A = this chain, B = another copy of it.
Amino acid sequence: MTFATDTAVHRIDEGRWTATIEPGWDIAGNANGGYLLSIAMRAVLDATDRPHPVTVTSHYLRPGRPGPAAVDVEVVKAGRSFTTARATLYSLADGQETPLMAVLATCGSLDGEPHPAELVTAEPPVMPPFADCVRMEATDGFPPPFMARVDLRLHPDDAFVTGHKSGEARIRGWFTLPELGDGDAVDVLGLVQATDAFPPTIFNTDLPVAWVPTVELTSHIRAVPAPGPLRCIFTTRFVTGGFLEEDGEVWDSAGRLVAQSRQLALTPRG
């Protein structure tokens, strides 16, 4: 019952992997999208024989519930440095193949070697230490059961769960997995999970929106994280026409950007 075991996949045929959508990763009964994407990406890494996702886009087609699942992967191009693949995550419940998620990803090797052209004009989010932030607890309602499978600590100023909203469409917090020890690092699939694990930014505003279903999420994995919890910030600048974007940055303990993400989500009326 760890992130690694609960996202495991098994190759059963050329281009097909089986998996199980495990209970406990849900939000109001539906599996968290980052969790489903991590299952799909484990099959994609196996299919492409590359160690790291570089850029991953997922379109969220339907909510996923616990049960048997499959991932079909088609390699579109295997190049010298990168391999690009498409994948579909299916639910196999009730003897049906129901597509839950369509994925397009390019994978490679983030070697971490110094590069002659480097330029960074941003800083990691400033936050109180991990132990001084507000842990998202798991309940049957809100916060959801999923919060027992990840370990999220919200910046006290952004911790709307305590009853105080910041008024800004922003969430800052730490991410790690509960099974990791002090010297452990979140791996690259955990990093994909981190880009879709936090509550919606607009829960810190007074907008009349109760849920924010994702249409599409794109995550760039920029480096392999150093050991320790990850510093995350998600912001929204445009809530318009029934849509919003959430821009994410994930930084590691060495002060490096390790992932950048953007999702497009809906703001259903009422």
Contact = CB atoms under 8 A, between A and B. Distances in A.
Interface string A126-170: 000000000000000000000000000000000000000000110
Interface residues of A, number: 59
Interface stretch (A19-27, A43-51, A181-189, A236-244): A236-244
A239 B102 contact: no
B218 A269 contact: no
A206 to B, nearest CB: 9
A229 to B, nearest CB: 21
A237 B242 CA distance: 28
A115 B268 CA distance: 9
Given A55-B215, A82-B215, A220-B245, 14 more contacts: A54-B264, A57-B216, A61-B79, A62-B77, A111-B241, A115-B242, A115-B267, A117-B269, A118-B241, A119-B169, A121-B168, A220-B264, A222-B243, A262-B262
Interface of A: 54-55, 57, 59, 61-62, 76-77, 79, 82, 84, 86, 88, 99, 102-104, 106, 110-113, 115-122, 168-169, 202, 205, 207-209, 215-216, 218, 220, 222-223, 236-243, 245, 256-257, 260, 262, 264, 267, 269
